[in-house]
Structure 1
Amino acid sequence: MASSGMDLTDVRATMLRTLHLRALDANSPAPVLGDRYAAEAVRRIDYDWGRLAKRGLANDCYAVALRANRFDDLAAGFLRRHADAAVIDLGCGLDSRAFRLAPGSGVRWFDIDLPEVVELRRRLYADGDGYRMLAGSATDPRWLRELPSDGPTLVIIEGLLMYLSPAANRELFRRLTEHRTTGEIVFDGVAPWVAAKSRVLKRCFPRWHRAPAYLTSQRDYPGIIAETPGLRQITDVGVLTDTHRAPDPSVRRYYGLLGKVAAIENWMRVFRTAF
């Protein structure tokens, strides 16, 4: 089995939570995403998954699956329009989007994350024709040297930017748009109240709330996008607007009730931008 070699103290370990939730969805009687790769990865990684179950995260599996579905749809749409695209999945964690979508032979796909994350990924997946894994931090521009600078590009950043400061977000967007000629950046952001709550929990209950605090919220992105030359926003949509896609009626009712509260409905939104 592959050893995770990680605990639950920093942003790298959030990928284990996300993987666990996607696997729970895949193993449910009526999955939303149905990520069989996630279920297989959980079986192969030597980790005490009970630590996550005890934290009550199972209730979040459908929201995580709905978010992944939204990103998958945006990526699939871009690839239908650009059969020769380059795809950069930044902060990919243990996500299997490159395999779920099975892009055509003309697509060059790069999954990028921290060295220890990529090391674990390589025990689960392998580089292949048109697919590479690269080690690097989102805040370190050196991995950009490994990427082509021609043609249309899709940059996917799921579950990462809220952990970076607004200044780091701004610098990352600038580097991406300067390196590439044309493309889209899709990413998610949390509501201001969610970010504020995470910071309070981290400050007041650090031994209990071991996950990193959110540093950037949805409220910061209009300014960040406006300050990035050539970047413009196309759409943003709440993750819970997709609850009709859940096959299980009880799941649809549960999230439908949550969606009636505007603050909860907009707790996380997915942004699509173009340059």
Structure 2
Amino acid sequence: MTDAVGETALWTLYHRSLAARDPECGLADPKAVELVEALDYPFAQRFGTDNRGWARGMAVRARCYDREVRAFLARHPRGTVVCLGEGLETQFWRVDNGTVRWLGVELPESAALRRRLLPDTDRCRTLTGCLLDERWTGEVDASDGVLVLAQGVLMYMAWDCVRALVEACAVRLPGAQLVFDTPPAWFAAGTVRGWFRYPAGYRPPPMSWGMTPARLRELRACPGVAAACARAALVRTLVRDPSALRTRPPPRPARRRPATPHPRGALMTTLPDEAEYSCVMPTNIAAIRALDKSGVFVREARLRHFAHIDGIWHDMLQYSVLEDDWRALRQNMPVRATCTPTAN
């Protein structure tokens, strides 16, 4: 696994293991720690050691996906979870309820490594194939519900291929739900331009696209797709199935967030029901003032040499607000403060 996109599987595994070792991250993932110790790979030399901010981010993302799977298994205890391009993800061991059926779809090199480190079992197996090859859908047991996950993979595919994949799932897996994460469009463009690089030398591979309202509308217009909603960092698509539509919960009201005047000076990343993180450059005074004056965000840390932009290393200030704190604050807010601001 030497290509840039394949190396992201090692990157995420390493940061999950760091999060699992940090009690403050709240991620129980002993399997990730076990894999890092078993692999003969220079993780620290390649990815660095002072990565607490990224480890926390990976922990939050992992918990968000775990919550999606547990909610699905609460409705379908014997359902099937399909993971597209999961690499060395250890989610099965975090959410296993004893009856779930787990199917991973991997390219040959990744599939061989995963089978060597995480051998197939009766309920958890890896299938070799291309995500765009619809034959993998024939291996899915859809008798008790299907949840398809694409964690950290679709942004590396061309947008036309992503649409084709969504349409294939809608046609071949009626009633299934697809959940994936995606960066904003400007962040994806930054990876193409080489804005982000680790001090140890690692550079994230270019991301082909990022989510925009127009792309979300395209997903909703795909044949067979009943609904597509962007709930913070996770995007859900639901193929047409009348019973599923009747039970789909209403959308959550939009949160009120501070404005960030400089798009390259602030990175806003929101995750459902867990926490909201904001990373801003120390030079972005307007964004820092907005965050400090909001009374909501708490400054967590200064991430040194976090972003490599235009050939220069930049520190970032990390802010966060927990969901519980946000809800408590909303309960004490006057009604006027929770309304959407309007122009004078």
TM-score by length of 1: 0.79
Task: Determine which structure has more spread, i.e. the larger CA radius of gyration.
Answer: 2
Q: Residue 43 of structure 2: which of 19, 41, 49 is its match?
A: 49
The Cα of 1:229 is off from its aligned counterpart by: 2.1
Q: TM-score if structure 2 supplies the norm length? A: 0.64
Matched, 1:81 2:127: no
Aligned residues: CA RMSD: 2.6
User: Equivalents in 2 of 1:64, 1:176: separation in Å?
Assistant: 27
Contact 1:150/1:181 (8 A) holds in 2:
no
Distance in structure 1 (CA, Å) of the matches to 2:119 and 2:202? 34
Q: For residue 111 of structure 1, report the CA deviation from its aligned partner.
A: 1.6
- State yes or no: 1:22 paired with 2:40: no
| Unmatched segments (≥5 aa) in structure 1 | 1-5, 203-207, 246-251, 261-275
Contact 1:91–1:157, Cα closer than 8 Å, also in 2 = yes
Q: Does 1:178 align with 2:176?
A: no
Q: Distance in 1 between matches of 2:30 and 2:140?
A: 29
Query: Which deviations, in whole Å up to 9, do the C-alpha atoms of 1:98-128 show, x marking residues without a partner?
Result: 11111332x3210222211121112222222
Q: State the distance in 2 between where 1:77 and 1:96 align.
A: 18
Aligned to 1:67: 61
Match of 2:106 among 110, 113, 135: 113
Q: Contact 1:66 / 1:240 at 8 angstroms: preserved in 2?
A: no
Change (3 A) 1:230 1:259: farther
Amino acid paired to 2:157: L
Could you report, residue by residue, the CA deviation over 1:152-195 in whole angstroms, capped at 9, with x for unpaired residues?
Answer: 21001110111111101000001111111212111001011101
Aligned to 1:164: 157
State the distance in 2 between where 1:34 and 1:104 align: 18
Query: For 1:124, which of 114, 117, 130 is the aligned residue?
Result: 117
Q: What is the aligned partner in structure 2 of residue 134 from structure 1?
A: 127
- Residue by residue over 1:140-159, the C-alpha shift from the partner in whole angstroms, topping out at 9 and shown as x without a partner, is 33322322354421001110
Q: State the 4+ residue runs in structure 1 displaced beyond 4 angstroms.
A: 55-58
- For residues 243-264 of structure 1, the C-alpha deviation after alignment (integer angstroms, 9 at most, x for no partner) is 389xxxxxx742895358xxxx
- Say whether residues 1:143 and 2:136 are aligned partners: yes
1:42-101: per-residue Cα shift (whole Å, max 9, x none)?
A: 000111112333386443010011011001001100110112311101111101111111
* 1:214 corresponds to 2:207: yes
Structure number having the greater helix percentage: 1
Do 2:111 and 2:126's aligned partners in 1 also have CA atoms closer than 8 Å? yes
Match of 2:300 in 1: 254
Match of 1:269 in 2: none
Q: Is the alpha carbon distance of 1:55 and 1:11 closer, same or farther for their aligned partners in structure 2, counting shifts above 3 Å?
A: farther
* SS of the residue 1:127 aligns to: coil
**C-alpha distance in 2, partners of 1:75/1:172?**
20
Q: What is the aligned residue count?
A: 243
